[in-house]
């Protein structure tokens, strides 16, 4: 598969864009006319820059309002096209993209349009150029690729071909299977874009919210399967209009796009019935089997504060690292690593972020496969020097520079604890603690652009499904929340982002100097018993307002005894069909992160409806600064 990206997809000036595109490993680039017009240099300079970077110029685009103009304007339209051909010759590209006419002056008529393209084809032929026709979803007379194909078919000229764009086809609801009857050798370019499934004007959605394959909700695999049937094996080119991307890091966005295309073609090669195409180039996505541990980077003072909180939650000190200043705190299947070592990754993370979650370890079905797949998807891996006899746990870079380690149920990486830790002489668990059984989910805060990036990385790498994105009202603004989970719920991640610096998620990022894990939820099988035991240890859950329980009562029509229990224990409640969800929160630790304890009864969500109540309760019980601000 050859890949390309349109310059309009990235931020920066033309040189920055091209450099980022080359660095991400694309084969080609579509030059968007505006990027050329604002460039301080001629078309030959641009062509030379493209060549020097090892790229090819796939197309010059867009040429607008061409077909079906009335006679009075027709000659001028062709003169305009000739001038673009001049530029293309100097630029060194063979393909002009013509998008369907949106001008109120245009007359429509398939044959009239075909005549115009036949004449344009003749002019292009004299120069050895090709013209591709793309139906815009909001074209005046042609807004469907089936009509664009009919124009191309009737133009019947070797220098005229069809351009498909996944966005225009899918967003407009044109059946993708109609692509299967188009001959692949008449398709001159295929543009790929994803988009969120939101009820919005198609033009606005397209101009501002397109996103990389895998970041949105469009059924791109079906589009690609239909394309596969045509035999097309030309460029797949990203054309992503997105305001965030145009304000973000060109390198990051270019890499995300490449990763999205790699993941998409991997999905297609695994689902195709065509044996010739069934050639996956990377191992399958490993299953996420659980969260093995979460690691905190702290100094001595904050370690005391953190371990006091953990002790209050009935975690016990289960072991100490053989060579580093690192403790393992445990309850049920929850392993928390408290790292105060003065060297290594955790320490550098502490120096940058202060007390923080610097790493998590996921148990996956195949660690070697995960690492190989990460490399194929351009996800940076990480290795740290280890002491003699200690385990090297493979890792990749996660959100905000944190690490994601991988362990597996069998083999060397099955028992990391007895190798690296001294588990003798630690305090014995007095009871079964307060009933915490496992990590239910981790919630991470980041910018919207990072959220799209993390969403793609997690789902491309691991077998996680994404839930629909939900908006949460924070007293300081809106928070977008995106959940990812393994089918059986063994791994659950929640990605939160906010444009507003005043939301908890936004404040977290500015005070924390970056993105990262903001809360960790543990699972219990009996929330009320957990709260009772917590209180016996002198730790009360975050207090919830009385009004909330009056509302819960009315909303769900619950047994009064249950409502009274919820109220007495400060437990939040949600329901989803027959599923029930119970949640409590600790106060915020070090003004940065907090713990949640949940009980699920056949419930798949994360209590999004309760988030505003929790956020308001946290704002009310504003944590006293218990440590010096960094
Ligand atoms: Mg397009
Ligand atoms: Mg939560």
Structure confidence by residue, pLDDT tens digits, 228-268: 999 999 999 999 999 888 888 999 999 999 999 999 999 99
* Nearest ligand, measured from the Cα of 609: 2
Dist. CA 97 → ligand 1 center (Å): 9
Dist. CA 239 → ligand 1 center (Å): 6
Dist. CA 345 → ligand 2 center (Å): 27
Answer yes or no: is pLDDT of 507 > 80. Answer: no
* Nearest ligand, measured from the Cα of 610: 2
Dist. CA 135 → ligand 1 center (Å): 8
Dist. CA 404 → ligand 1 center (Å): 36
Dist. CA 99 → ligand 1 center (Å): 8
Dist. CA 444 → ligand 2 center (Å): 10
* Nearest ligand, measured from the Cα of 238: 1
Dist. CA 75 → ligand 1 center (Å): 26
Instruction: Report pLDDT for 413.
Output: 86
Lowest mean pLDDT among 94-108, 293-307, 408-422, 454-468: 408-422
Instruction: Report pLDDT for 414.
Output: 85
Instruction: Report pLDDT for 428.
Output: 66
Instruction: Report pLDDT for 276.
Output: 74
3-state secondary structure 565-602: HHHHHCCEEEEECCEEEEEEECCCECCCEEEEEEEEEC
Answer yes or no: is pLDDT of 153 > 50. Answer: yes
Instruction: Report pLDDT for 426.
Output: 67
The answer to whether 243 touches 208, Cβ cutoff 8 Å, is yes
Kindly indicate the confidence band of residue 476, based on its pLDDT and cuts at 50, 70 and 90: confident
* Nearest ligand, measured from the Cα of 444: 2
Dist. CA 561 → ligand 1 center (Å): 59
For 274, how many CA atoms within 13 A lie in the half-sphere containing its CB? 12
Dist. CA 161 → ligand 2 center (Å): 51
Dist. CA 133 → ligand 1 center (Å): 10
* Nearest ligand, measured from the Cα of 164: 1
Rounded Cα distance between 541 and 599, Å, is: 15
Lowest mean pLDDT among 266-270, 308-312, 422-426: 422-426
Q: How large is the average pLDDT for residues 544-573?
A: 95
Dist. CA 443 → ligand 2 center (Å): 7
Spatial CA neighbour of 258 closest among 272, 240, 270, 243: 240
**Domain 288-422 is found in CATH 3.10.180.10:** yes
User: What size, in residues, is the chain?
Assistant: 630
Dist. CA 193 → ligand 1 center (Å): 8
The answer to whether 100 touches 135, Cβ cutoff 8 Å, is yes
Dist. CA 585 → ligand 2 center (Å): 9
In DSSP terms, which residues pair with 163 in a beta bridge? 134, 189
Place of tokens 């106060």: 587
* Nearest ligand, measured from the Cα of 98: 1
Phi, psi of 542 (to 5 degrees): -55, 125
Dist. CA 393 → ligand 2 center (Å): 28
Answer yes or no: is pLDDT of 498 > 90. Answer: no
The tokens describing 455, both together, are 């969403």
Angle at 504 between CA 498 and CA 506, to 5 degrees: 40
Answer yes or no: is pLDDT of 429 > 50. Answer: yes
* Nearest ligand, measured from the Cα of 481: 2
The tokens describing 111, both together, are 């044959």
Instruction: Report pLDDT for 627.
Output: 42
Rounded Cα distance between 264 and 258, Å, is: 10
Dist. CA 71 → ligand 1 center (Å): 27
Q: How large is the average pLDDT for residues 588-600?
A: 87
Dist. CA 566 → ligand 2 center (Å): 17
Instruction: Report pLDDT for 425.
Output: 63
Kindly indicate the confidence band of residue 279, based on its pLDDT and cuts at 50, 70 and 90: confident
* Nearest ligand, measured from the Cα of 6: 1
Best mean pLDDT range from 26-30, 394-398, 478-482: 26-30
Instruction: Report pLDDT for 437.
Output: 96
Q: How large is the average pLDDT for residues 209-215?
A: 94
Dist. CA 212 → ligand 2 center (Å): 27
* Nearest ligand, measured from the Cα of 137: 1
* Nearest ligand, measured from the Cα of 442: 2
3-state secondary structure 217-275: CCCHHHHHHHHHHHCCCCEEEECCCEHHHHHCCHHHHHHHHHHHHHHHHHHHHHHCCCC
What is the CATH number assigned to the segment(s) 436-621? 3.10.180.10
pTM for this predicted structure: 0.92
Dist. CA 59 → ligand 1 center (Å): 11
The answer to whether 514 touches 485, Cβ cutoff 8 Å, is no
**Domain 3-271 is found in CATH 3.20.20.150:** yes
* Nearest ligand, measured from the Cα of 241: 1
Dist. CA 586 → ligand 2 center (Å): 12
Dist. CA 522 → ligand 1 center (Å): 46
* Nearest ligand, measured from the Cα of 595: 2
Dist. CA 272 → ligand 1 center (Å): 25
Dist. CA 242 → ligand 1 center (Å): 13
The tokens describing 190, both together, are 């295929």
* Nearest ligand, measured from the Cα of 615: 2
In DSSP terms, which residues pair with 277 in a beta bridge? none
Answer yes or no: is pLDDT of 539 > 80. Answer: yes
Q: What is the mean pLDDT of the chain?
A: 92
Dist. CA 521 → ligand 2 center (Å): 6
CA distances from 61 to 49, 58, 96, 117 (A): 18, 10, 6, 16
Domain boundaries for CATH 3.10.180.10 within the chain: 288-422, 436-621
Dist. CA 610 → ligand 2 center (Å): 9
Answer yes or no: is pLDDT of 33 > 60. Answer: yes
Dist. CA 164 → ligand 1 center (Å): 7
Domain boundaries for CATH 3.20.20.150 within the chain: 3-271
In DSSP terms, which residues pair with 598 in a beta bridge? 523, 583
Instruction: Report pLDDT for 628.
Output: 41
Dist. CA 165 → ligand 1 center (Å): 5
Dist. CA 607 → ligand 2 center (Å): 7
Spatial CA neighbour of 189 closest among 59, 51, 331: 59
Dist. CA 491 → ligand 2 center (Å): 13
């Amino acid at each position: 598969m050859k890949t390309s990206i349109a310059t309009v997809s990235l931020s920066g000036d033309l040189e920055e864009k091209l450099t980022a595109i080359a660095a991400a490993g694309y084969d080609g680039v579509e030059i968007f006319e505006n990027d050329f017009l604002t460039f301080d240099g001629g078309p030959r300079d641009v062509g030379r820059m493209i060549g020097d970077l090892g790229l090819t110029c796939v197309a010059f685009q867009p040429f607008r309002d061409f077909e079906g103009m009335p006679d009075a304007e027709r000659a001028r339209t062709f003169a305009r096209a000739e001038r673009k051909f001049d530029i293309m010759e100097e630029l060194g590209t063979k393909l002009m993209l013509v998008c369907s006419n949106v001008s109120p002056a245009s007359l429509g008529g398939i044959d009239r349009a075909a005549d115009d393209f036949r004449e344009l084809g003749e002019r292009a032929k004299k120069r050895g150029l090709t013209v591709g026709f793309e139906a815009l979803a909001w074209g005046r007379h042609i807004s469907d690729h089936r009509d664009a194909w009919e124009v191309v078919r009737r133009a019947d000229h070797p220098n005229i071909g069809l351009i498909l764009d996944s966005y225009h086809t899918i967003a407009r609801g044109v059946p993708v299977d109609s692509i299967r009857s188009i001959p692949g050798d008449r398709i001159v370019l295929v543009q790929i874009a994803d988009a969120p499934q939101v009820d919005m004007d198609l033009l606005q959605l397209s101009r501002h919210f397109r996103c990389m394959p895998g970041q949105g909700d469009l059924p791109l695999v079906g589009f690609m399967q239909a394309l596969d049937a045509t035999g097309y094996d030309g460029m797949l080119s990203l054309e992503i209009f997105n305001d965030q991307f145009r304000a973000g890091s060109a390198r990051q966005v270019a890499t995300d796009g490449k990763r999205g295309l790699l993941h998409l073609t991997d999905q297609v090669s695994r689902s195709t019935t065509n044996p010739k195409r069934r050639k996956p180039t990377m191992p399958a996505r490993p299953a996420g089997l659980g969260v093995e541990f979460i690691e905190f980077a702290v100094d001595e003072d904050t370690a005391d504060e953190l371990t006091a909180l953990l002790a209050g939650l009935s975690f016990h000190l289960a072991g100490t690292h053989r060579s580093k200043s690192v403790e393992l705190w445990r309850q049920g299947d929850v392993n928390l690593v408290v790292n105060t070592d003065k060297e290594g990754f955790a320490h550098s993370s502490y120096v940058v972020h202060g007390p923080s979650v610097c790493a998590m370890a996921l148990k996956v079905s195949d660690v070697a496969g995960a690492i190989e797949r990460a490399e194929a998807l351009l996800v940076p891996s990480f290795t740290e020097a280890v002491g003699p006899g200690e385990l090297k746990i493979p890792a990749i870079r996660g959100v905000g520079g944190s690490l994601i380690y991988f362990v597996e149920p069998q083999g060397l990486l099955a028992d990391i604890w007895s190798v690296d830790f001294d588990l003798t002489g630690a305090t014995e668990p007095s009871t079964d603690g307060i009933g915490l059984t496992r990590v239910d989910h981790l919630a991470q805060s980041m910018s919207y652009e990072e959220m799209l990036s993390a969403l793609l990385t997690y789902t491309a790498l691991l077998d996680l499904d994404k839930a629909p994105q939900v908006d949460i009202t924070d007293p300081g603004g809106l928070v977008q929340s995106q959940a990812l989970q393994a089918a059986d719920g063994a791994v659950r991640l929640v990605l939160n982002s906010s444009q507003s610096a005043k939301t908890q998620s936004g404040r977290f990022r500015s005070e924390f100097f970056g993105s990262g894990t903001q809360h960790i939820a543990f699972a219990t099988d009996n929330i009320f018993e957990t709260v009772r035991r917590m209180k016996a240890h002198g730790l009360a859950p975050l207090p919830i307002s009385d009004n909330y329980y009056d509302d819960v009562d009315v909303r769900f029509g619950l047994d009064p005894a249950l409502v009274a229990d919820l109220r007495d224990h400060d437990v939040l409640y949600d329901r989803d069909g027959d599923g029930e969800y119970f949640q409590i929160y600790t106060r915020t630790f070090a003004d940065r992160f907090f713990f949640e304890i949940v009980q699920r009864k056949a419930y798949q969500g994360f209590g999004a409806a309760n988030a505003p109540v929790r956020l308001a309760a946290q704002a009310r019980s504003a944590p006293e600064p218990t440590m010096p601000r960094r």
